[in-house]
Structure 1
Amino acid sequence: MKALLLKDFYTLIKQIKIYIVMIIVFACIPGNSIAAIAMVYAAMLPITALAYDERSKWDSLALMMPYSDRSIVLSKYILGYIAVAAAFLISIVAQIAITLIKNTAFEPEGIVSLILIACIATVVQAVNLPSMFKFGVEKGRLAFFVLVGIITGVGMVIGDRLAGFLSTSYINIITAMLVTVIFTLAINLISIALSTRIYKKRV
């Protein structure tokens, strides 16, 4: 698994340095709306890695290596989780730094909002990866970008409002967050199982 992640990392770092810089910049800009864009962009990295795999005929090479189908599929999901987590942490650090510079109070609701946005980003990944494994990146790319556009647009509209709602709502925030995380985990587990089944049939 570690070797598969390193393969994707070395491939991506050489090809899309600007792309990674964009994620970092978006994550550092104040506001949950921009952070939402950063996390959704981060969730796109596994798709880019899949595209490079297809161009280099990696699937044919992988058949000769001691990697299980599940490990190959799971490595793409983990790559996305790491990227989203990195964008999430950068966003939190940036928000804390901004509050210190401006000498303003730090709002914990902002972290809850960022957690929910991170969950949305991983759900986007979970919804799209099975179609990428099934149809390939080129055919599945259109559906992916349509969904990303919708999610990004919704994130920009409700990202900052979400933090305000959480700060004034009587809903138990912890309960709402736990439900969201559990739902996200369930969707991802189902997606991983589906992608593994699709990949076994494809190769």
Structure 2
Amino acid sequence: MGQGGVMNSAGKISVSLMLLAAAVSVGNRQAQAQAQQNPPAPLLNRIQAANEECKRKYPEPIRQAIAYTTCENRSMELLRPSMVYPDLMDQELANNLMLAEKLQRGKMTPIEMKAMKAQLHSQVVTEFQRRQLAKTAVATRPVAPDVSITGAIGQPAPAVQPGTPQLQNTTTRQPHCQTARFGMMLETVCN
């Protein structure tokens, strides 16, 4: 694989990181989730332009891997304000830099780096999904009713007569979550 192929895979990883940021930015409320689910186009355009500038500054993907990745990580920092879990973004950026260092020092091939990036990215996405599901479960947990054999005014509850309609249990609507795949990125949206 030529140097251009390595740069293309690095570009794909940065797009994947942007999609992770879009997924991570999903908040608790539906309106907030819709607003933050996809970062605004001008922001994505700024990040893409910054990444293109990194490619121009550091055209040798193996010899300049650390400098290129540092530059690309800086452009990804533009997403930080919209991140629900900034520590996951920090983990992704640190992983990218660690792999770039191994590549530049000759301890890893570009193909190995790409495979390891995909594996580490998958772990970050899995942790994001775990946190979102835990947050959703806590937010939608129904409050247990006070079970009592007495009625509302302290008198025994009436017996259920055969043939009379019974009250339906009303439970809190559980969220419905869907996962969509965009290249290497998995995005979970709950409603």
TM-score, length-scaled by structure 1: 0.29
* Structure number with bigger Rg: 2
Higher relative CO (Cα under 8 Å, sequence separation at least 6) belongs to 1
Q: From the two aligned structures, give the one with the greater helix fraction.
A: 1
TM-score, length-scaled by structure 2: 0.30
